[in-house]
């Protein structure tokens, strides 16, 4: 009976708190309004910049900022054309590079982007940066931070003010930061819920960000075919030191590349349209 009641409550929550990702139509659980994250996101972003070595000039910084601006424009154009401009309400775009060996980049809710210098050699050039930029911005556009927090709260069965407050503050921060704080404050999901629900959904979000990222970079005039090369380089850089896919927040490398290749024909059409080419084979 207890299990039935819990299952019924969970089902009710899904019915009441479900919404669709604007660009893909996927249903997502949303117990937290993504716009509620913005003030704390902006504060957290400033704290990160204030406590890090932010690079203010140089070729790499210029490429990151240029790619950011171009993809920002393509995101705005796509959302406006598809009547989803409300998704960007409250966004305050910003693109920065931090000197850090971590192979990482992220975008907080509201368009606050950071690239660590550790990922730039794998990006290689501006098109590689655009691959990562499109992917990370897509997480924010699809409200993945709020969705992940909602999933964690549901799995934990905890929706107290303190837990929600911490979740908002941590949403879309680097994964290592989330892991530490969520563990300390008891928001980490039970193992069964993590393996059976949260991790598969996280992998879905990553695949979704890959799909949207291809669209945004192609519309910005960057050849989306570079995405396959980038993720193959990322796989090589990891040296195979990854958990099996069912225990990971990310798709397996071969699955990711295979999915990208399936999406590529439509992305290339968008790229050709954006560049005015009908038989484009080169990369920008």
Query: Per-residue pLDDT for 26 more than 90?
Result: no
Cα three-residue angle 205-211-217, rounded to 5 degrees:
125
pLDDT of residue 182: 44
Helix, strand, or coil here: 56? Answer: coil
* % helix, strand, coil for the chain, step of 5: 65, 10, 25
User: Cβ-count burial of 249 within 10 angstroms (0-12 exposed, 13-18 middle, 19+ buried)?
Assistant: middle
pLDDT of residue 66: 98
Lowest-pLDDT range of 53-57, 139-143, 276-280: 276-280
pTM across the whole model: 0.74
> What's the whole-number average pLDDT of the chain?
75
Q: Contact at 8 Å (CB) between 151 and 171? A: no
pLDDT digits (tens, 9 = 90+) for 163-183: 444 444 444 444 544 443 344
Residue scoring higher pLDDT (7 or 123) = 123
pLDDT of residue 159: 43
| Integer Cα distance of 22 and 86 in angstroms | 10
Query: Per-residue pLDDT for 124 more than 70?
Result: yes
Query: Is residue 74 very low, low, confident or very high in pLDDT (cuts 50, 70, 90)?
Result: very high
| Integer Cα distance of 49 and 101 in angstroms | 16
Rounded mean pLDDT of 94-111? 94
pLDDT digits (tens, 9 = 90+) for 191-247: 333 333 333 345 677 888 999 999 999 999 999 999 999 999 988 887 655 433 322
| Integer Cα distance of 251 and 244 in angstroms | 9
User: Phi and psi at residue 119, in whole multiples of 5°?
Assistant: -90, -15
Residue scoring higher pLDDT (94 or 17) = 94
Whole-number percent of the chain with pLDDT over 70? 60
């Amino acid at each position: 009976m207890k299990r039935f009641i819990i299952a019924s409550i969970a089902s009710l929550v899904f019915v009441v708190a479900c919404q669709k990702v604007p660009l893909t139509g996927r249903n997502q659980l949303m117990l937290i309004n993504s716009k509620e994250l913005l003030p704390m996101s902006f504060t957290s972003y400033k704290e990160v910049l204030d406590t890090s070595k932010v690079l203010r000039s140089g070729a790499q910084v210029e490429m990151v900022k240029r790619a950011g601006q171009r993809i920002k424009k393509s995101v705005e154009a796509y959302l406006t054309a598809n009547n989803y401009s409300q998704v960007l309400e409250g966004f305050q775009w910003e693109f920065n590079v931090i000197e850090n060996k971590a192979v990482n980049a992220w975008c907080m809710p509201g368009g606050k982007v950071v690239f660590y210098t550790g990922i730039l050699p794998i990006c290689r050039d501006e098109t590689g940066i655009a691959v990562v930029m499109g992917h990370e911005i897509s997480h924010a556009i699809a409200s993945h931070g709020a969705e992940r927090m909602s999933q964690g709260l549901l799995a934990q069965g905890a929706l107290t003010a303190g837990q929600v407050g911490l979740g908002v503050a941590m949403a879309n921060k680097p994964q290592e930061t989330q892991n530490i704080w969520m563990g300390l404050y008891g928001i980490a999901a039970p193992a069964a819920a993590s393996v059976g629900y949260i991790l598969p959904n996280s992998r879905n979000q990553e695949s979704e960000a890959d799909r949207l990222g291809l669209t945004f970079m192609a519309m910005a005039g960057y050849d989306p075919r570079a995405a396959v090369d980038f993720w193959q380089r990322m796989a090589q850089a990891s040296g195979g030191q990854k958990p099996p896919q069912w225990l990971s927040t990310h798709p397996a490398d071969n699955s990711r590349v295979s999915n990208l290749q399936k999406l590529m024909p439509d992305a290339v059409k968008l790229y050709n349209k954006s560049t005015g080419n009908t038989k484009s084979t080169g990369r920008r």
